[in-house]
Structure formats: structure tokens, C-alpha cells
Amino acid sequence: MNLPNALPPIERVLFTAEQIEERIREVGARISADYAGRELKLVAVLKGSVFFLTALARHITVPLRLDFLAISHFTNQPGAPGLVRLAKDLDDGIEGEHVLLVEDIVDTGFTTRYLLQNLAGRGPASLGICTLLDRTSRRLARTPINYSCFEIPERFVVGFGLDHKQLYRNLDCIAVIKPE
């Protein structure tokens, strides 16, 4: 396991690097089969999805393009943006393209719903979702997930792109952190 110098407050490892690699390979193969004969655009949501995106893209065999989005974050602080909005838009249009939104985690589904609404309005030929982690037990917004690598329990997890106060994204495993 690849740990940074300052040890994160890990309670237990949920998925090892090997398990993640194996599962992403399986999902990549499914995506390759489903999109056979078509070009695909992977749209990743910064920053958490970057690790998953690069791992996933290596296991997809159809021609693909990459693009990135970032959204503003809810902070509940006075003066903070009152509404979710795109902090970084796609570099290129997606009209007529087959688009797969790549997420690190789908939890309540609020963020994914917003992004889907935003992307669907741009006229893609198809629009799907692929997520590394899926926490269905906490889902409030109905979001049709096309590809999910792991279902996770109701615990706060870090690693493989997921952070806690912007730390621990670079863990090569996915781990539950100790409650503060």
C-alpha cells in the first residue's frame, strides 16, 4: 500500500490497489463491448475522478476523447456561491457524441443529477454514468448508473482520488477513515 509520509487516520482498507485494478479492468472491458464500433468521450469531474479516469481509460479499447468539468462546492459559509455552478466547463461541445460521465463517487446523487441535466441539454447522442464508488443507501436523487465498480457502505472513505480536506487522494487503495 502506498502511504504518504504523514499517515492518514485510516480505520481499515476497504479495497486494495489490486482489487481496484482488477475491477476497473472488468468495467473497462464492459464499456469497450457496449461502445464497440463507436467513439466515446469520457467526461471526468475534477478533482476526485482523475485517478479513476486515467485507470479506466487504459482499459477501454474503443477510440476515446477526454474532457473535464469542475463544479462549485457547497460550503454553507456566508458569501459562498448560493447555487451549484460549473467552475470549469468542457473545452469542447458534445453534440452528437457518446458521452460517459466519470465520477469518483455517487452518494446522494445531487451532483450527478446536476451534471447530467447540464450535459443532456447539450444534445449528446447518448449519455451514461460510470462511477468508481456507488453508495446507494444514501441516494436521494434518482440517477441511472450504467457502470459501477464498487458499492460502498455508509462510511467516509478516502484514496484513489477521494479526499478528506484535500488530502489522501494519492492513496492507491480505498480506505475508511477514523471518525474525528
Query: Which sequence positions are flagged as catalytic?
Result: 107
CA 95, distance to chain mean position in Å, is: 22
- Which 106-125 residues touch another protein, going by CB under 8 A? 110-111, 113-114, 116-123
Cβ(41)–Cβ(94) below 8 Å: yes
- Per the CB < 8 A criterion, the answer to whether 43 and 49 are in contact is no
Q: Does 38 engage in binding with another protein (CB under 8 A)?
A: no
Report in angstroms the alpha-carbon separations of 120 from 40, 97, 104, 127.
15, 11, 20, 7
* Region of residue 109 (left: phi > 0; alpha: psi -120 to 50; beta: else): left
Nearer to another protein, 25 or 85 (CB): 85
Q: Please state, in angstroms and rounded to a whole number, the distance separating the CA atoms of residues 173 and 90.
A: 29
Choose, by CB under 8 A, the member of 3, 62, 141, 145 that binds another protein.
Answer: 141
Shortest distance (Å) from residue 16 CB to another protein: 23
Task: Rank residues 2 and 117 by Cβ distance to another protein and give the closer one.
Answer: 117
Our finding on whether 12 is near another protein (CB under 8 A) is no
Q: Does 84 bind another protein (CB under 8 A)?
A: yes
Q: Is 93 in the site for another protein (CB under 8 A)?
A: no
Does position 165 bind another protein by CB under 8 A?
A: yes
Q: Which has the closest alpha carbon to 24: 157, 149, 170?
A: 149
Residue (25 or 73) nearer to another protein, CB: 73
SS3 call for 6? coil
Q: CA 173, CA 22: separation in Å to the nearest integer?
A: 12
At position 152, the amino acid (one-letter code) is I
Residue (29 or 167) nearer to another protein, CB: 167
- Smallest separation (angstroms) from another protein to the CB of 58: 29
| One residue of 26, 46, 61, 74 binding another protein per CB under 8 A | 74
Site of interaction with another protein (CB under 8 A): 73-77, 81-86, 110-111, 113-114, 116-123, 127, 138-142, 144, 154-156, 164-165, 179-180
